[in-house]
Structure 1
Amino acid sequence: MVIKTENINTISLNNIDPDHIGLIVYNLKDDYSCLQNLHLPNRRTFYTVIYLTSGLITLNIDKYNCQLQQQQVMFFSPSTVLSLLTENDQKDGWVILFEEHFFTQRYNDNVLHHFSFLKTQKMQPQNVAVEQQLGWPMILETMHREYLFSHPDAKNILRSYLNIFLGTLSRNVNTEGTEIPKNEKEEKVISFERLISEQFAHERLPSFYADQLFISTNYLNRLCQERRGISAGQLIRERVLMEAERLLIHTYKNISEISFELGFENVSYFITFFKKKYGVSPEEFRKKQ
C-alpha cells in the first residue's frame, strides 16, 4: 500500500511545535500528536527517531512498507519520503525529532554524519538490545523532562543526552563495529554528499562540486572511488534516480512534470536516463509499484 499525493510536502518542526528549540521529544503514551503530521507522504527538515516499547505502527519509507513493533526502533533522515499507514491505539514509546543545526551548534558540523545509520537509511526496524532497553528509558525520560520544562540550560543538556542516545543507538545498529572511520578523506566525501542533496536537481557535473570543495575533479573522483566504491558522477546520478523513484511512487505528477522538476532539458532524455538504470521506462516503473 502506497499513499499518493499531488506534491510531497515538507514538514518542519514549526508545523509540530512553533515554540520548539530545534528538538522535540514525545512520549507516545501521553501524546502522539506528532504522528498525525506523518499520514500523507512527506519529507522533513529534521531527523526522526521512533522507539516503540509496545503497540504496532505500519510505515512506508520511499518504496518500502514495514511494521514497527514492540522494542524496535527506526530512524529517518530528512530526505526520505515517509508516510504513516496505520497505527493502533495501544502504543507506547518515544519519538525524537531534531534539526541538524541543534546538534552541530555544540559539535563539529560533520559529527552528526559520522552516525552512519542516519545517512544510510535502513528500511527495516531494528530490534533493541536488552542493554538499550534497560538504559534508554532513563535517557529519554530525562530528555522529555528537560524539553517540557525549558530551563535556561536545557539546550546544552539536551544536546549532551542526544549525543549519548545516538551513540548507543549506533552501537545497537552497528553490532559489529562497522562505523565509517573518521578522517579527512571521509569528511570531504560527506561534504560532497551533502552538496549533492542540495544541488542535484540543477547541478550534474562533478566539476561544479569539486570547485565548491576546493579540490580538483580528479581528486574528487579518487576520493569517491576509495570511500564509496563508485565515481563522483555515479553518486550524483544515483541521487537523481532516487528522487525520480520517489516522485513516481508517491505523487500523481506526470512524466513531463517529473522530468522538469529534476532539471532535465527534455522528457525523452529523462526517459533514456531512467531506462538505462532500471531497464523500463518511468511509466512502466510506476505501473509496477
Structure 2
Amino acid sequence: MRNEIPIYDISSLAGFRKEDIMVSKFGPYSKTHQHLHYPHRHSFYHVVLFTEGAGAHSIDFESFEVRPWQIYFMIPGQVHSWSFAGPVDGYVVNFSSTYFQSFLLLTEYLQRFSFFNGVVKDSVLQVPEDCQSAIKGIFEELLITGTQNKRFSDDYIKVLLLKLFIMLSDLLVEKSEEYVSSYNYTLLRNFQQLIERNYTLIRLPKEYAELLYITPNHLNALCNDLLGMAAGEVIRNRVILEAKRLLVNLELSITEISTQLNFNDNSYFTKFFKKYVGVTPEEFRKKTLK
C-alpha cells in the first residue's frame, strides 16, 4: 500500500522537545515547518492557541476562520491544514497518545474532555477575555518548565496541561460526571473504537451489535440518544471521512482508494460517495486541493 498523506511525529518537529512532548511559540513553529500548511496528519495530540493573526484552519475538511484567542484541539489521525493571511502567533503543544499513561490511573482520562472526542465542532474554542491572561500564563509556564531539567519537570508539565484542559472544560457546557461514567457512555466509546478498527471490513450495525453483546435496536437507540444519529450513519460517516482523507493524496487513484476502503468496485464507491457527500470523489479532490 502506498503512503497516504504525510504523517508527522514529534521527533520530526523543532522546538523544546522531550521524548513525548513538544511546546513552542506558534510563530517560529509555523515558519520552521512550512510543509505543515499543506494537508497532513499527526501521530500525536495537537493543541494550538492563536493570540494574533488571521486566515483559515481546516480540520477533517471543516474550515474555521482563524481569530485571536481561538484554541484548537486535534487528536491523532485527523487531517488538517493552515492558510494564514499575514503573520500569526500563539502557542503549540504536541504530546504523544501515551504521554499521560504512566501518570494517570484512568487511561482514557483525556476522552472525558469533549474537545478530545474527535468531533470537529467540539474541538475549536474561543477563550473569553476574562480568562485569556490565565490561559496564556499556563502556556508560558509550559515553555519555561520545558527548558528546565529538574527532577519533577516532566510531571509538572503534565499537571500544567491537565490544569489547562480542566480550565477550558469548565468554560463549556460539559456533560455531567454521571453521564461520563455511565454504562451507556462506555458502550458508545466501545462502539466507536470498534468502528475505528473495523470500518473497512464491517459496515452493518447488527454486526457491531453482536460484538457488543447488545441488540441492533439497543445500539440504534444509544446512538440516537447520545449522538443524534442512527448507528448506520455513525459507521458510514467514518468511511466517508477516511475516503476524504485518502483523496487528498494525489498519488492514490480513485480505484486504489476504493480498494483500500474495501468497496467491490470503483463504480460502487463513486455512487456511495456522491450519494452522501453530494459530489463525486474526483470532484471532491479537485475542489479540496484548489
Q: Specify the TM-score bucket, using the shorter chain as the normaliser.
A: 0.7 to 0.9
- Partner secondary structure for residue 88 of structure 1: coil
Residue identity matched to 2:53: G
Q: Match of 1:70?
A: 68
The match for 1:3 is: none
- Once the two structures are TM-superposed, the CA of residue 52 in structure 1 deviates from its matched residue by 1.6
Greater shift after overlay, 97-106 or 58-67?
Answer: 58-67
Q: Deviations over 1:244-279 (max 9, x none)?
A: 23333x232332122112121211221232233235
Q: 1:114 to 1:124 in 2, by over 3 A?
A: closer
Corresponding position of 2:54: 56
Separation in structure 2 between the aligned mates of residue 124 and residue 62 of structure 1, nearest angstrom: 11
Tell me what 1:97 maps to. 94
- Partners of 1:115 and 1:179 within 8 A in 2: no
Q: Deviations along 1:218-254, whole A, 9 cap, x unmatched?
A: 3444432332233333211110012223333x23233
Alignment of 1:12-51 (within 5 A): 12-16=9-13, 20-28=18-26, 32=30, 35-51=33-49
CA distance in 1 between partners of 2:245 and 2:48 (Å): 22
Matching residue of 2:233: 234
Q: In the alignment, is the contact (CA less than 8 A) between 1:61 and 1:83 conserved in 2? A: yes
103-112 or 31-40, larger mean C-alpha shift? 31-40
Amino acid at match of 2:102: Q
Matching residue of 1:121: 120
Map 1:164-203 to 2 at 5 A: 164-172=163-171, 174=172, 176-177=173-174, 181-182=179-180, 183-203=182-202
- The 2-side partners of 1:39 and 1:202 are apart by 33
2:103 corresponds to which letter in structure 1? Answer: R
**TM-score where L is the length of structure 2:** 0.82
Query: How many aligned residue pairs are there?
Result: 279
Relative distance call for 1:124 and 1:232 in structure 2 (3 A) is closer
Distance 1:85 1:226 in 2: 37
TM-score when scaled to structure 1?
0.82
Runs of 4+ off more than 6 Å = none
Gaps of 5+ in 1: 1-5
